[in-house]
Amino acid sequence: MEHSLSIDTSVGKEEIYLQVLNQLRALVQGEEDLIANLANSCALLKEAFNWWWVGFYLVKNQELVLGPFQGPVACTRIAYGRGVCGSAWQQQKTIIVPNVHDFPGHIACSSASLSEIVVPFFGSNQEVIGVLDVDSEHLNYFDEIDAKYLEAIVAFF
Ligand code: SME
């Protein structure tokens, strides 16, 4: 099926997220392949918000391995408990980092990234199967609104 994006980015953040959720619902409907759905999700999010980096890491053999993303090249493997991504996996909850330089152990894939949010997502047994990572070149860019909607987005997977 052919899909075209039509997101009005002139509105507020919550309104953009609501459009993203609607588009995503249509995009993933009838498609069970996880990688295909993750790939389209980051394309949609990049189009909607033009973040510095947005992408997924997937749990494989006890570590996080880079999955579909939009943005500059990134580190490919992250250990359990390491960095923001490994910490979100370990704590099984969303982590918002207003300033990456204040987060002990932050993994700097790009020196341009200044703030970050990482949202874990879960398999059928409530185990973490991956994380959504979003980076911004601006300080203090993410808040509870982002957490709420990004958690709703990863609930599709
Ligand atoms: N900063 C992340 C690593 C992934 S990159 O930002 C894409 C972390 O500390 O886990």
Q: Assess if residue 107 is contained within a domain.
A: yes
- Return the ligand 1 atom nearest residue 88 CA: 10
State the residue range of the domain holding 112.
13-154
**74 CB near ligand 1 (under 6 Å):** yes
Name the DSSP class of 142: -
Q: Assess if residue 19 is contained within a domain.
A: yes
Work out whether strand 95-97 and strand 53-60 pair parallel, antiparallel, or are unpaired.
Answer: unpaired
Instruction: Provide the pLDDT confidence category of residue 120 given band limits of 50, 70 and 90.
Output: very high
Torsion of CA 130, 62, 108, 133, to 10 degrees: 0
Backbone angles phi, psi at 22, to 5 degrees: -65, -45
Instruction: Provide the pLDDT confidence category of residue 138 given band limits of 50, 70 and 90.
Output: very high
Mutate which of 54, 56, 76, 106 for ligand 1 pocket (most atoms within 8 A of beta carbon): 106
Q: Assess if residue 7 is contained within a domain.
A: no
Q: What is the pTM assigned to this prediction?
A: 0.95
Q: Assess if residue 55 is contained within a domain.
A: yes
- CATH number of the domain bearing residue 141: 3.30.450.40
How many domains does the chain contain in total?
1
Q: Assess if residue 8 is contained within a domain.
A: no
Q: What crossing angle do the helices spanning 34-49 and 13-28 adopt, rounded to 10°?
A: 150
Provide CB contacts within 8 A for 153, sequence distance 6+: 20, 21, 24, 41, 45, 132
Going from the Cα of 96 to the center of ligand 1, the distance in angstroms, rounded, reads: 12
- Return the ligand 1 atom nearest residue 103 CA: 9
Going from the Cα of 72 to the center of ligand 1, the distance in angstroms, rounded, reads: 12
pLDDT at 3 over 70: no
The kind and range of the H/E element at 65 are strand 63-70
Q: Assess if residue 1 is contained within a domain.
A: no
pLDDT tens digits, residue range 83-119? 999 999 999 999 999 999 999 999 998 889 999 999 9
